[in-house]
Structures are given as C-alpha cells and as structure tokens.
Amino acid sequence: MWEFLRAGGPVMFLLVLTSIAGLTFIIDRGLALRSNQVIPKPVEDAVEKCNSTADAERVVAAARSVPSAASRLLLQASEHLDWSKQDNIDSVETAARHEVIRLERGLVVLEIIVGIAPLMGLVGTLHGLITLFASLGSVGLSDNAALAKGISIALNTTLMGLIVAIPSLIAWSYYNKKVETLAVEMEALCERFLRSQYREKVSA
C-alpha cells in the first residue's frame, strides 16, 4: 500500500488528505442526519397528540427536553401563538431555512471533493507521464517492461481520484435527498401543530 501511494507522487498524498476530509464529512453528516436526531420520536408523538391549545405545553415540554431542528421550529411557533397564523407561519418558514442550512453543513465539501478528486488524479497521471517520457528520452524505448510499469504507476493517481470521488458522490446525493425529505417532514409537523393551535381561534 505504501509503495502504491509513494509511486503516485505528491498528488497522491493530496488525494489521501482529500479522502480523509471526505470520510470525515460522510460520517459527520451520517450521524447528524439520522431521522431521530432531526425529528425526535417524543416530539413527533407530542405533536400527534396535540389537538387543542391546552396540549401546547406538552409539545413545548417535549421540544425543550429533546433539542433538535424540529424542536427549535416548534418552540419558535409556540412563542408566537399570539400572532396571526400567517405571520407565525412566515416566522417558522424563516427559521426552517436556517435549520436546513445547518443540516446541509458539510455537503458543499463533499460536492467539491466530487469535482476535484478526479481532476487531481488526472493531474497526477499527467505529471507521472511527463516525468516518465522525460526519463525515457535519455535511455530510449528499448525496455518495454519499464515503460509499461512506468505508465501503470502514473495511472495510480487517476484510480485513486476515482476511488475518492465515487463514494463522495454517492454520499452527497443521498444526503441531499435526506435533507429534502427531513425538511418536508418538519414542515408537515409544524403545520400539524399550528393547525391544532389556530383551530379553536377560528371557531371562536
């Protein structure tokens, strides 16, 4: 393994650092975007059982006991129940945009890695080929085995670039979809809570 990395030259070590960064953010987002971390079950259950303004305190207590993105949005909604329904919805939507940005933190790094890893691999390959052909200029092409081995080594960085980029692309696509799904679920949860709170006011 060490020989494989060393043969790739300086670009190979940059790719190793890139892979470490990518793996770090893949693990970080994997832990942060778990459904129970974003929309805790106790909070979801409290909202499902909330049918009137009298039940609002139960939702607030659940949201305060289990901090999460959904909890913060529900607390935001509960603090402005004296506002009109539309004003409260607008306030929650603004807060929701900030929560989505927090959920997407780190995904831009994965997107960058997806773009640059293959390019770095190509740069490493070109550097290796240039070095190889420069050395062959002085000794000639009589040793085909050495030429084949040199080209093989030069292609190591292209392989490494793809190895880094492919998992990052998979993770980036999956997490983007996951954030979108969680955003919709949080929107539905907040809408359910607000509807229960303003139903009595409309009836009155």
**Residue whose C-alpha is closest to residue 156's, from 133, 129, 130, 134:** 129
Q: Is the pLDDT of residue 144 over 70?
A: no
Do the Cβ atoms of 78 and 101 come closer than 8 Å? no
* Cα angle for residues 163, 166, 171 (degrees, 5° grid): 130
Q: What is the pLDDT of residue 20?
A: 96
Q: Is the dihedral of CA 89, 90, 95, 100 positive or negative?
A: positive
Q: How far apart are CA 4 and CA 16, in angstroms?
A: 12
Q: Please give the residue that has the higher pLDDT: either 141 or 93.
A: 93
**Residue whose C-alpha is closest to residue 187's, from 34, 77, 79:** 77
The band of 26, judged by pLDDT with boundaries at 50, 70 and 90, is very high
For the stretch 106-125, pLDDT in tens is 999 999 999 999 999 999 88
**Residue whose C-alpha is closest to residue 8's, from 150, 195, 186, 198:** 150
The band of 140, judged by pLDDT with boundaries at 50, 70 and 90, is low
For the stretch 67-91, pLDDT in tens is 999 999 999 999 999 899 999 999 9
Q: How many CA atoms lie within 13 A of 34 on its CB side?
A: 9
Q: How many CA atoms lie within 13 A of 5 on its CB side?
A: 8
Q: What is the pLDDT of residue 201?
A: 57
Query: What single letter denotes the amino acid at residue 146?
Result: A
Q: What is the pLDDT of residue 52?
A: 85
CA distances from 138 to 21, 61, 131, 132, 133 (A): 40, 78, 12, 11, 9
Do the Cβ atoms of 93 and 116 come closer than 8 Å? no
* Global pTM value: 0.85
Share of the chain above pLDDT 90, in %: 68
147 DSSP assignment:
H
Do the Cβ atoms of 98 and 113 come closer than 8 Å? no
Q: What is the pLDDT of residue 139?
A: 56
Q: Is the pLDDT of residue 143 over 70?
A: no
